[in-house]
A and B are shown apart, each in its own frame.
Chain A
Amino acid sequence: MAQLLRRLGITGRTAVIAVPWVWLLLFFLIPFIIVLKISFADTRLGVPPYTPLLEWGQDGYVNFKMNVANYLFILKESLYLEAFLSSLKVAAVSTILCLLIGYPMAYGIARSDASWRNILLLLIILPFWTSFLVRVYAWIGLLRNNGLINNVLMGLHIIDEPIVMMQTDFAMYIGIVYSYLPFMILPLYSNLEKHDNTLLEAAVDLGATPFRAFLKITLPLSMPGIIAGSMLVFIPAVGEFVIPRLLGGPDSLMIGRVLWDEFFLNRNWPMASAVAIALLLVLVIPIMVFQRFQEQESSGAHR
C-alpha cells in the first residue's frame, strides 16, 4: 500500500500540503466558479432560478450562452456604483476609527507588564465568546430611544428628549468599530510586542524626544501591523450586511445590502452573483497591494 502510494507520488509531505489545497478547492474555488457561472446566466422562473450556460440543442449542437448584461447593468446603473462607493467609504472610515482606537490599546498592552499582558489580551478576545449577532442586538438595547443610554441621560435630567441614535450612521459606525476592533488590535499587538526597546533608547540617546522617537522608530516599524490590521477590518467591513441592516438607517446604501436584496427580494441570482464577483474584484486590489508590501518587507527592511 505504502509503495503504491509512493509510486503515485503521494508521500507524507504531499499529503500534508494537500490538506489546505483540497480545502481551498472545495470551499473556495468551486463555489467561486459556481457563482461566476451564475453571474453569466439569465434569470428565469423555476428551480434553479437561472438559465444554464450550456444546453443541448435539438439539432445536436451544444449551445453556449453567456449573458454579460448583468455586468453592463452594474456599470450603467448608478445605484450599484453608489453602493460600492458608500461601502468603501464606510469601510475606510471604520478602519481609520479602529486604527485610532486600536493602536493606543495595542501599544499599551505591548508595553504593559508581562504578567498583565495575557489578561489584557483575554479582555480583547472576550467578546468573541458571545455570538456576533447577540452583541449587535445588545447595541440595539443600548442605543434605542428607550434604551439604556437614553434612559440614564434622561433620568439624570441631562436631556429631556431621547437622542435618536438607532438607524443612523452613528449607530452603524459604533457597531462596525466595536465588532472589528479586535481584528485591528491583535495584529498590531503581535507586531508592537516584538519591538526592541533599545531602539527607542538609542533614538532618545541621539537627541530625539520620546515622542519623536515614537514617530521615527516605532511607527514606521509597526507599519506591517498597521497594514495587516487595516486589511482585516477593511475587507470584511466593505461587504458588511448585518450591522448596517440592524443598526444603520434605511437609507444606508451598502453593497452587502444590495446583494441581499437582489437574492432574496428580487430573486435575481445572476445579478446578485455579478455584484458579488464585482465586489471580489474591488477587494482583490487592496489585497494585492498588501501582498506586494509584505514581499518587500520580507525581502527588505525587516530583520
Chain B
Amino acid sequence: MAARPEVRREPWKDPQAQAYIRIENVTKKFGEFVAVSDVSLSIYQGEIFCLLGGSGCGKTTLLRMLAGFETPTSGRIFIDGQDMAGVPPYKRPVNMMFQSYALFPHMTVEQNVAFGLKQDGVAKDEIAERVNSMLSMVKLDQFLKRKPHQLSGGQRQRVALARSLIKRPKLLLLDEPLGALDKKLREHTQFELVNIQEKLGVTFVVVTHDQEEAMTLASRIGVMNHGRIVQVGTPHEIYEFPGTRFVSEFIGNVNIFEGRIMADEPDHVTIESRELGAPIYVGHGVSTAPDATVWAAVRPEKIMITRDEPNAPLGVPPAMLARDGDFNRAQGVIKEIAYMGDTSIYIVLLDSGKQLRVTQPNSHRHADSPLTWEERVWISWHESSAVVVTE
C-alpha cells in the first residue's frame, strides 16, 4: 500500500541498481498474431510491478514467458542475471499464482501447499514445519485437511498464494490474483498481499486488467496495449502524467480536449481548442512541432464547477491573461447529476457542444442551494491540472 511512501525505495531511478528481471526486445507470435511486440523492461528486486491492460493486450503472455510456459519468438529474458532461454519452468527460481488458482482437487490444503517442497525432496519434518507456518501466515491453519472444493473463494485464493510462496521464490508471478473475489474481499486481500510481500521481500509481477487493483498494489505499473508497453511509471505518474490518450483513458476517467499548439515555451504551452471554446494553458513544457494537433487531458476531480464566474484560473500569469483573455474555463449546462455519496458526478454540456465529466466532493451534508439539472454553470481548472497527451 502506498501508505508509507518514506520506506518505498525507487531503484528504477538509481543508475547503479541492478535489474532483477531484464526483458530485452521480447516478441511473441502465435502464427500471424503478434501477442507481445518488442517489449523491453527492467524490474527490480522487492518491487510489485503491475502489468496493466485490457484483454488480449499481451500481459498474460508476457507473464507466461517469465514462468517458462511460453518461449519468446525473439528477444531474451534474464532473471537474476541468468538467461532464461531453454530453462524449463520446473527449473526456474519463479513461482506463479494462477488466475483460476489451479489447486489440485484431489489433494488436501496441506498436500497442495506441500507439493512444491516434495518435488525438491525436502525432508518430511521440514515440509510439515514450513507448511504449517505458511498456512498460519495466510490464516488457514484450521483447514489443513480440507479439500479445495470445501473452501470459499477467498480461502482458495490464500491456499494458492501459500502454495506459490512455500518454495520461497525470489520472484512471484500473479495472474489476476484478485479477479475471482468479491469487492469487499478484494480490498482486504490487496492489503494482505502487500503485507506478505513486504514481510518476505519477494518481487511480485502482477498481471491485471483492473486499474484500481494496479493502483493500490503496484510500486510501478506497465500499461500495455496491442502487445506493447505504452508507459511505465509509478501509479502517481501514470495517473497524473499519462503520456498518451490511451493511458489517460484507460486509467481513471478523463476529459480530453483536442487542440493545436499556439505557444510552446519551456515551462508551459498554450493550446487553442475549439472543443473548450477557450485556450488551454498547461503548466509544463512539451516538445512537439508548433501547429501540431495535441490533446489536453483533465481529470474530472480537478475541474471546478461554480454557479458564478470564477476568478482568473490560478497560476496563469496575469500578463498572459491580459493578452490572450480567458484560459481553462468555459460555460455550460448541467445535463446529468449522479450522487455517489462521497462525491457527485456532473455531466456538463459546454457551449462548444463538448460533454464534460466533473466530480466534486460532497464535503457538506446540506448545501444551501445545490447545483441542479439544466442549470448554467462555469467550469474551470488550475493551470497545473491539465496534461498534454499524444495519440
User: Which chain A residues have a beta carbon within 8 Å of chain B's beta carbons?
Assistant: 196, 198-199, 201-209, 212, 216-217, 220-221, 300-303
Contact B100 A300 (CB under 8 A): no
Contact A207 B106 (CB under 8 A): no
Q: In chain B between 91 and 122, which residues have their CB closer than 8 angstroms to a CB of chain A?
A: 94-96, 98, 100, 102, 104-106, 115-116, 119-120
Q: Name the one of B67, B100, B104, B149 contacting A205, with C-beta atoms under 8 angstroms.
A: B67
Contact A205 B96 (CB under 8 A): yes
Residue of B nearest to A301 (CB): B106
In the assembled complex, which residues on chain B have CB atoms less than 8 Å from the CB atom of A212? Answer: 119
Contact B69 A207 (CB under 8 A): no
Residue of B nearest to A303 (CB): B149
Residue of A nearest to B108 (CB): A301
In the assembled complex, which residues on chain A have CB atoms less than 8 Å from the CB atom of B119? Answer: 206-208, 212
Does B163 sit at the interface, judged by CB under 8 A? yes
Contact A205 B90 (CB under 8 A): yes
Contact B105 A201 (CB under 8 A): no
In the assembled complex, which residues on chain B have CB atoms less than 8 Å from the CB atom of A301? Answer: 105-106, 147, 149
Name the distance in Å between A210's Cβ and chain B's nearest Cβ.
8
Q: Name the one of B102, B105, B116, B147 contacting A207, with C-beta atoms under 8 angstroms.
A: B116
Q: What is the interface of chain B mostly: helix, strand, loop, or mixed?
A: mixed
In the assembled complex, which residues on chain B have CB atoms less than 8 Å from the CB atom of A201? Answer: 67, 69, 89, 96, 98, 102
Q: Name the one of A196, A198, A206, A303 contacting B115, with C-beta atoms under 8 angstroms.
A: A206
Given contacts A212-B119, A220-B106, contact A204 B89 (CB under 8 A): yes
Query: By the criterion of a CB under 8 Å from any partner CB, how many residues of chain B are at the interface?
Result: 24
> What CA separation (Å) do A216 and B105 show in the bound complex?
12
> What CA separation (Å) do A201 and B95 show in the bound complex?
11
In the assembled complex, which residues on chain A have CB atoms less than 8 Å from the CB atom of B115? Answer: 203, 206, 208, 216
Scan B66-102; emit 1 where CB is below 8 A from any A CB, else 0.
0101000000000000000000111000111010101
Does B167 sit at the interface, judged by CB under 8 A? yes
Does B148 sit at the interface, judged by CB under 8 A? yes
User: Which chain B residues have a beta carbon within 8 Å of chain A's beta carbons?
Assistant: 67, 69, 88-90, 94-96, 98, 100, 102, 104-106, 115-116, 119-120, 147-149, 163-164, 167
Name the distance in Å between A18's Cβ and chain B's nearest Cβ.
35
Q: What is the interface of chain A mostly: helix, strand, loop, or mixed?
A: helix
> What CA separation (Å) do A206 and B96 show in the bound complex?
8
Name the distance in Å between B92's Cβ and chain A's nearest Cβ.
8
Given contacts A198-B102, A205-B90, contact A300 B116 (CB under 8 A): no
Contact B167 A206 (CB under 8 A): yes
Name the distance in Å between A156's Cβ and chain B's nearest Cβ.
44
> What CA separation (Å) do A209 and B91 show in the bound complex?
9
Residue of A nearest to B148 (CB): A303
Contact B98 A217 (CB under 8 A): no
Name the distance in Å between A227's Cβ and chain B's nearest Cβ.
14
Can you list 13 A-B pairs, Cβ within 8 angstroms, ordered by A?
A198-B98, A199-B102, A201-B69, A202-B104, A205-B67, A206-B95, A206-B119, A207-B90, A207-B119, A208-B115, A212-B119, A302-B105, A303-B105
> What CA separation (Å) do A201 and B115 show in the bound complex?
13
Residue of A nearest to B92 (CB): A205
In the assembled complex, which residues on chain A have CB atoms less than 8 Å from the CB atom of B164? Answer: 205-206
> What CA separation (Å) do A209 and B104 show in the bound complex?
16
Contact B104 A217 (CB under 8 A): yes
Contact A205 B147 (CB under 8 A): no
> What CA separation (Å) do A301 and B149 show in the bound complex?
8
Q: Name the one of B98, B106, B147, B167 contacting A202, with C-beta atoms under 8 angstroms.
A: B98
Name the distance in Å between B247's Cβ and chain A's nearest Cβ.
31
Contact A205 B105 (CB under 8 A): no
Residue of A nearest to B116 (CB): A206
In the assembled complex, which residues on chain A have CB atoms less than 8 Å from the CB atom of B88? Answer: 204
> What CA separation (Å) do A302 and B104 show in the bound complex?
10
Given contacts A198-B100, A300-B147, A303-B149, contact A205 B95 (CB under 8 A): yes
Residue of B nearest to A198 (CB): B102
Instruction: Output the residue of B88, B94, B96 with the most chain A CB within 10 A.
Output: B96
Residue of A nearest to B114 (CB): A206
In the assembled complex, which residues on chain B have CB atoms less than 8 Å from the CB atom of A199? Answer: 102, 104-105
